[in-house]
Amino acid sequence: IDKLQSSFHQWERILPDTGEQVHLTKELLANCESIKWQVLKLSIDNRELESRRRWTITTRTQVGDVKKSVVARKENGNSASAIRRELMKLPISHQLDRSYQDSAEDNDDFIASESDRQMLLINGSMQQDEELDELSASFERIGGVGLTIHEELLAQEKIIDDLGTEMDSTTNRLDFVQKKVAMVMKKASAKG
């Protein structure tokens, strides 16, 4: 953008219909298209931004809850299975009903499978974010390469324009010399 602005201010100061103005006009239009393409590539609407923000907050909360539970259980050593084992050691009168124990085990299994599923979703989302970051970096590199190629083409176009100007100048000088030589030959043959 800074380069575009600088070129634009330079373009405003030069006289119209000059070679430099024509060259800068082409360069400015090409830079405008390039920047427009890059901005379109990176634009995210408010709905997408809000969706990503909500997802990030939810994911952080879920990860924090999982971590708190694991740390608390590790510190307390009061896992459901440990509590169940302790209850199993009590006399029969204090033991839980067998169907209730089966139900509790089923609930534990369900909670464990849900926890695993949640962790897989979180890991998948994190991996997807990493892949999106890599893709974004790739787009940035491609955009940079495109700009470099564009700048190189502009430089080569200027070299070709300069070469054309030099060739026109050389042709004019050569024509002048040929006319001089023809006049000298004509005078020499008229004297001779």
Q: Write down the pLDDT at residue 91.
A: 46
Same domain, 15 and 36: yes
Q: Write down the pLDDT at residue 96.
A: 44
Tell me: the pLDDT tens digits for 54-71? Answer: 888 888 888 888 888 777
pLDDT of 97 strictly over 50: no
| Rounded-to-integer distance, Cα 41 and Cα 32, Å | 14
Neighbours of 27 (CB within 10 A): 22
Same domain, 1 and 34: yes
Same domain, 37 and 58: no
**What are the DSSP calls for 122-185, one per residue?**
HHHHHHHHHHHHHHHHHHHHHHHHHHHHHHHHHHHHHHHHHHHHHHHHHHHHHHHHHHHHHHHH
More confident residue, 102 or 70: 70
pLDDT of 102 strictly over 60: no
Q: Give residue for tokens 């324009």.
A: 161
In a domain, 71, yes or no: yes
pLDDT of 14 strictly over 80: yes
Same domain, 14 and 38: yes
Same domain, 57 and 26: no
Split into its structural domains, the chain has a count of 2
pLDDT of 90 strictly over 50: no
Same domain, 71 and 36: no
Phi, psi of 96 (to 5 degrees): -75, 155
In a domain, 67, yes or no: yes
* CB burial string 122-141: b at 16+ within 10 A, e below: beeeeeeeeeeeeeeeeeee
| pLDDT tier for residue 79 given thresholds of 50, 70 and 90 | low
| pLDDT tier for residue 47 given thresholds of 50, 70 and 90 | confident
In a domain, 185, yes or no: no
Q: Which of 43, 36, 35, 38 is nearest to 3 (CA)?
A: 35
Q: Which domain does 57 fall in, by range?
A: 53-80
Residues 167-171, mean pLDDT to the nearest whole number: 86
Looking at residue 17, the DSSP 8-state letter turns out to be: T
State the pTM of this model: 0.31
Same domain, 38 and 4: yes
Same domain, 37 and 66: no
Instruction: Provide the phi-psi class of 77: left if phi over 0, else alpha when psi is between -120 and 50, else beta.
Output: left
pLDDT of 16 strictly over 70: yes
Looking at residue 15, the DSSP 8-state letter turns out to be: P
In a domain, 69, yes or no: yes
Same domain, 39 and 69: no
| Rounded-to-integer distance, Cα 171 and Cα 168, Å | 5
Same domain, 29 and 8: yes
In a domain, 172, yes or no: no
In a domain, 88, yes or no: no
In a domain, 19, yes or no: yes
Q: Write down the pLDDT at residue 82.
A: 53
In a domain, 182, yes or no: no
pLDDT of 75 strictly over 80: no
